[in-house]
Structure 1
Amino acid sequence: MTDQDQRRVTLTRDSMGRYTVRNDRGGSVTTSSGTDELSPVELLLAGIAGCTAVDVDTVTSRRAEPESFEIEVTADKVKDEHGNHLKDIEVTFRVRFPDDEGGEAARTILPSLVRRSHEEFCTVSRTIMLGAEVTSRLE
């Protein structure tokens, strides 16, 4: 049995090569290619970073407020017999907590949370790792 909770975004064209993506709650982000804005590929990497950040930050911050919290996601964009795609996606955490009891508690659980986010919690990276069928339709 699966537990389903449908998610949806809608993209509209602003101008040639520039688009705004909106969710049902009113949030939005602009994307384009060849400008300073995030490209669609970078938004995918941002999705991985944001998803795993929520997993890790939510729990560690109950123990201590981080002094710094940064996640870098890198990937190689390739074009081969499978078409354009990313490979060798790497997620690097740079998290620092204060040198006190709460900070020590947060540091102690950090490796486990990073692992569990990767193996179980982060919907974005889990979807990439497991693979999901993407279909297109024209209305």
Structure 2
Amino acid sequence: MSLAVRWIRLLMVVSAAGFAGAAFAIRAPMDGPIEQYSGAALSAAIVYTIVICLRPLISPLSAGSAAVAYCWFIEFAQLTPIPAALSQRSWFARQLLGAQFDLIDVAWYPVGVIPLIAAHWFLQARTRSQTDPAPALTS
């Protein structure tokens, strides 16, 4: 495993922890629509960082698509009784699976991922431009 891949994975773990901390800090004082929507967006951001941690060389669009698809899968699974039953038994399961379906969350997951896709693309393009040799001048 290359040093760059190790650094990417470390950065993703730190980013996921930062997003989780932000989500809990926003939710701690009260429980309203802002806290709920930011929680959905930040949870999608956490999933994005997990995707990058697992597959560091994945393209930004693929990582974003995988993160949003996973979040939507979990959200729509909440239409079944299984996540609610698991969430009643475990705080951790509630954090991972939620307890009830909310259509508004479906719209907020991409909001949490789109800025990360843009940042990922920017950093990827910047890295490529720094590693590509300068074009040869021809006369």
Q: TM-score, normalised by structure 2?
A: 0.35
Q: Which has the higher helix share?
A: 2
Structure having greater relative contact order (Cα 8 Å, sep ≥ 6): 2
Q: Which has the higher strand share?
A: 1
Q: TM-score, normalised by structure 1?
A: 0.35
